[in-house]
Amino acid sequence: MMRHLILPGVELISGGAHPAYLEYLNEWREQIVSRADDGEVAASLCLQAAFIDLITKGSLKHDWLGVMDEHLTANGKPLAYSERFGAKLFGFGGQYLQSTVHAIHTRWWLETICAPRRVDHEAFAGMILGKKQTDGLIYDQDLSETILRHRMKSELTMSMAMSVEILVAAGGINEKLARELATNIVDPKKCPPLGYMGMEFYRLQALRLLGHEALLPEGIDEHITACAEGLEVGWCDFAMNTKVDAYMGTAKRTQRDKPIHSPLTACHVKALREIIKPVETQQSIIKRFTEYAAHLKDNPLDIPAFQMRDVPVPFGVDRTPIEVICASNLIATCKKN
């Protein structure tokens, strides 16, 4: 069974893509293959293209490891961006030489798919431990000097979940380290419970792998309810009324943002629901989840893009391979029911 942390509850099997998304997915993949041939590629693009291979063909049909060897490796370490990709980013220059937790995890995961018996888990674990900070968390401080208070908390918990997954595979976590990592990932001064669905999902995954799920902060059910406010269907990653400016500490610059529903967030919610105890709350979440799956079944292209304040142009794209794959999973769940 092939799964990935970024795709909660999704099995990467042939036929996993809904027909409404096939043309988009195939065109997106072919574009990445073409760009990779020109050396303009990123680890995140290779990963998503690999997802598409697996859910449309059942196996990797392109040599993504070869692409990483040629364009996304330096000094024996996986890179997030190729040199030509970095040249496209304004003012990026030599900063493309970034070996991030995500890039390391991507290379590790692809190797586990292609040749699981030959993966040097200890080598990857060594790269990850090199990212361990004095605050007890694991993230890319070597690449960005942003202070902990201003770092994206979803970045912190995702980096921890990916790092712990590699360390567990390498047999590199003893009881002392597990307790240290778990304690720091729930420290309210380092990773406060902000109610972001993605953030809390990754925190839960890290704690589960560490054997300390019981430490997950309380109140997840209330956050899930808040993330549904203002939406007819589904959930937004965060509740708009709690979104504030990081520097001013107010909602001044964010009060006109509007919530959007997201298939990926729905998958996060489904995973988080498992740890909620009140039966009524679980049933309420299941009901909304089922209704959202039915909505996507009837309206598969209704995957909105985030829009900021009064800016008429969407902030980012609507459909992405990850959102589409999650939507396919939700629709399939609807069909089973």
* Choice between 183 and 84, residue whose per-residue pLDDT is larger: 183
pLDDT of residue 278: 87
Instruction: Give pTM, 2 decimals.
Output: 0.92
pLDDT of residue 53: 97
CA angle, residues 303, 288, 157, in degrees to nearest 5: 70
pLDDT of residue 241: 72
Whether 311 shows a pLDDT value over 70: the answer reads no
Whether 103 shows a pLDDT value over 50: the answer reads yes
Cα–Cα distance list, 96 to 36, 71, 142, 280 (Å): 15, 11, 13, 49
Alpha-carbon gap, residue 209 to 202, rounded angstroms: 11
pLDDT, mean of residues 91-105: 81
Whether 267 shows a pLDDT value over 80: the answer reads yes
pLDDT of residue 253: 47
* Choice between 307 and 101, residue whose per-residue pLDDT is larger: 101
* Region of 68 on the Ramachandran plot (φ > 0 left; ψ -120 to 50 alpha; else beta): alpha
Alpha-carbon gap, residue 194 to 33, rounded angstroms: 38
Amino acid at position 218, single letter: E
Whether 246 shows a pLDDT value over 50: the answer reads yes
Q: 């990445």: which residue's tokens? A: 32
For residue 306, the cross-strand partners are 315
Amino acid at position 115, single letter: A
Burial of 246 (0-12, 13-18, 19+ CB in 10 A): exposed
Mean pLDDT of the chain: 90
Would you call 224 helix, strand, or coil by DSSP?
helix
pLDDT, mean of residues 146-163: 93
User: E strands of the chain, at which residues?
Assistant: 73-74, 77-78
Which of 246, 236, 196, 235 has the alpha carbon at shortest distance from 217? 196
pLDDT, mean of residues 72-79: 96
Cβ neighbours of residue 69 closer than 8 Å, sequence gap 6 or more: none
Total residues found in the chain within this entry? 337
pLDDT, mean of residues 93-111: 89
pLDDT, mean of residues 202-221: 96
Give domain limits for the chain. Answer: 1-119, 120-217, 219-337
pLDDT of residue 313: 45
Residues 187/216, Cβ–Cβ less than 8 Å: no
* Choice between 310 and 279, residue whose per-residue pLDDT is larger: 279
Whether 57 shows a pLDDT value over 70: the answer reads yes
Cβ neighbours of residue 198 closer than 8 Å, sequence gap 6 or more: 154, 158, 237, 264, 265, 268
Which of 206, 178, 191, 180 has the alpha carbon at shortest distance from 271? 206
Burial profile 64-101: b = 16 or more Cβ within 10 angstroms, e = fewer:
bbebbeebbbeeebbbbbbeebbeeeeeeeeebebbbb
Whether 135 shows a pLDDT value over 60: the answer reads yes
Whether 130 shows a pLDDT value over 90: the answer reads yes
pLDDT of residue 318: 61
Alpha-carbon gap, residue 76 to 328, rounded angstroms: 36
Lowest mean pLDDT, pick from 5-19, 189-203, 307-321: 307-321
Token representation of residue 224? 């899930």
* Choice between 337 and 166, residue whose per-residue pLDDT is larger: 166
- Residue 244's pLDDT band, with cuts at 50, 70 and 90, is low
